[in-house]
Amino acid sequence: MTTFEVKEEFYLNEKPVKLISGAIHYFRMTPAQWEDSLYNLKALGANTVETYIPWNLHEPVEGEFHFEESNDIEAFIKVAEKLGLLVILRPTAYICAEWEFGGFPAWLLRESGMRFRSTDPRFMEKVRNYFSVLIPKIAKYQVTNGGLVIMMQIENEYGSYGMDKEYLRQTRDIMKEFGVDVPMFTSDGAWEEVLDAGTLIDEDILVTGNFGSHSKQNAKNLQNFMARHGKKWPIMCMEYWDGWFNRWGEEIVRRDAEDLAQEIKVMLEIGSLNLYMFHGGTNFGFYNGCSVRDNIDLPQVTSYDYDALLTEWGEPTEKYYAVQRVIKEVCPEVWQAEPRKKLLKNLGTYPLKASVSLFNTVDTMAKAQITDYPLTMEQAGTGYGYMLYSINLKNYHHENKFKIIEASDRAQIYTDGEFLVTQYQTEISEELEIHGKEEKEEIAVEVLIENMGRVNYGYKFNSPTQSKGIRQGIMQDIHFHQGYTQYALDMSGEQIAAIDFTRQENAAQPSFYEFQPELAEVADTFIDCSAFGKGVVIVNGVNLGRYWQRGHIQYLYCPKEFLTVGKNEVVVFETEGVAIEKLNFSATPIYSEK
């Protein structure tokens, strides 16, 4: 039976061990990809894998738990164990991870005034309910129970948000209650203020740091902090950032391979580290996160390539070989091997089969919810994707003032079926002028709201902007309007299957485009989105994620597991009035110079 202890060093089976770990998020790839990714981590020279566990995937509806397919954390752990990798788990309620709402489920927002990441009894009750299901599933794989899980995290970078030690204690106690008995840890930035705020060092909870450069100085900061509290623990960087995430419209972040390798070499000479990320993967569906700068929300892209050691699709990079080399220099006894490669193919070009305007088929896809005042996305449905609001305003036959009050994140406004304007969170509430057609007594208004991703880091977790859709209402002249018909559109497989493509098309409106590629073979591939505007692509009922002309990344990665030999159903939902006439697959990712 394996043993693991934290003393002045990490001890595995009573012998000192340096943890060389890599982050792989099982939920950002298909289960068929897990073994290749984990094998490549071991071939690098690593002995450990680390992963977050996202609450919102495992409990998407309160009280309804999912641990199947790509959510099967137990199966992922078993693959790691089969390869002889130790496992570090981060099952915290909050994960950050550039993931939607930092892992919190959207349904938490239905309870007004609940304070997240605090001892608010309502929040802690939700955490307890979740942990009562999750923790027993993973506790059985701890080294204390004959498995290879060596450590678990209590909270993630809490010192960058709060300083409520009682919240940390309550979280720790719940984890212990449901079976965690391996060493627990916190991870924070490596400077005094956040370490002081975010740790339980005086209660013997291991302190680890997150950084990606200046290894000597950051390690010294950790060491000094522990020494001031009378601790002589091993130095570990729990997130050694080897790249960075990307946001729409910004330059793709790249890091020089040799620069990274030399910094990692220094860190390995000091202590242990976890490469964040080793393999980033993809933010499938609507699970991309959002960061904040100067109070402006900046949604992150679908690709979570992270400029990591493996690409988004799992191909070893120049960084992989450079880091593999320095690991061998510092730890000459480690086992290493050639990594496994990926095969990607161009699966051809296919013509459009049919298209239909969203406005003409929305009633076949979702139930109309009729209310005096608007519902938010969380009130009306799952809280993800889009909401379509329809209202009829009186036509006064002259220019009328119009504005939306408090809505998130992106509103596209149509009057009598014609596009008027797109407003973002910073522009919503700005006054517009609308007018109806002379021959009509009413103005038909449609407002399509997109949730572009809830914030995953920073101070806005308890901000009203985390609730998506229209929160207050729509004003005509200077009064609130009553009478809304709304549709919650999360683009589930069921909703996509219910689209009626026999109804009228109108490329000037948000529209669905249907393709039925007949494939003689399947392979990992890319969908070329360079001629599209903005929207999502659904392949055989699976939402690959968002695309947008804004920025350099103009593809969506499609693993072969989402395709089938024979007929496939691919639906593109396009919101920008771009008529899509063909579907192109590609063997390589497509980037724009824009």
Write phi, then psi, for 292 (nearest 5 degrees).
-130, 135
What is the Cα–Cα distance from 445 to 435, expressed in whole angstroms? 11
Contact 309, 317 (CB under 8 A): yes
From the CB of residue 62, how many other CB atoms can be counted at a distance below 10 Å?
Answer: 14
What is the Cα–Cα distance from 356 to 506, expressed in whole angstroms? 7
What is the Cα–Cα distance from 167 to 5, expressed in whole angstroms? 25
The residues that bridge with 152 in the sheet, in sequence order, are 89, 184
Catalytic residue (choose from 239, 378, 446, 450) = 239
- pLDDT level of residue 236 (50, 70, 90 thresholds): very high
Catalytic residue (choose from 50, 98, 155, 157) = 157
Instruction: Find the length of the chain.
Output: 594
The structure tokens 């998020």 sit at: 25
Class level of CATH domain 373-482: mainly beta
What is the Cα–Cα distance from 207 to 158, expressed in whole angstroms? 12
Write phi, then psi, for 46 (nearest 5 degrees).
-80, 160
Q: Is the dihedral of CA 344, 350, 354, 359 positive or negative?
A: positive
Superfamily for 4-330? Glycosidases (3.20.20.80)
- pLDDT level of residue 551 (50, 70, 90 thresholds): confident
The domain spans of the chain are 4-330, 349-355+491-586, 373-482
- Catalytic: 157? yes
Amino acid occupying residue 435: H
Amino acid occupying residue 74: E
- Catalytic: 64? no
373-482 and 349-355+491-586 share a CATH fold: yes
For the domain made up of 349-355+491-586, give the CATH fold. Answer: Jelly Rolls (2.60.120)
- pLDDT level of residue 540 (50, 70, 90 thresholds): very high
- DSSP code for 576: S
The residues that bridge with 288 in the sheet, in sequence order, are 99
- pLDDT level of residue 475 (50, 70, 90 thresholds): very high
pLDDT of residue 53: 98
Amino acid occupying residue 489: L
Structure tokens given for 377: 């996305």
Beta pairing class for 290-293 and 410-415:
unpaired
Category of 113 on φ-ψ map: left (φ > 0), alpha (ψ -120 to 50) or beta: left
Question: H/E element holding 546?
Answer: strand 542-548
Residue 314 has pLDDT above 90, yes or no: yes
CA distances from 575 to 362, 463, 489, 536, 552 (A): 14, 27, 13, 9, 19
Q: What is the pLDDT of residues 133-178, one digit of tens each?
A: 999 999 999 999 999 999 999 999 999 999 999 999 999 999 999 9
Going by C-alpha positions, the residue among 186, 189, 190 that lies closest to residue 199 is: 186
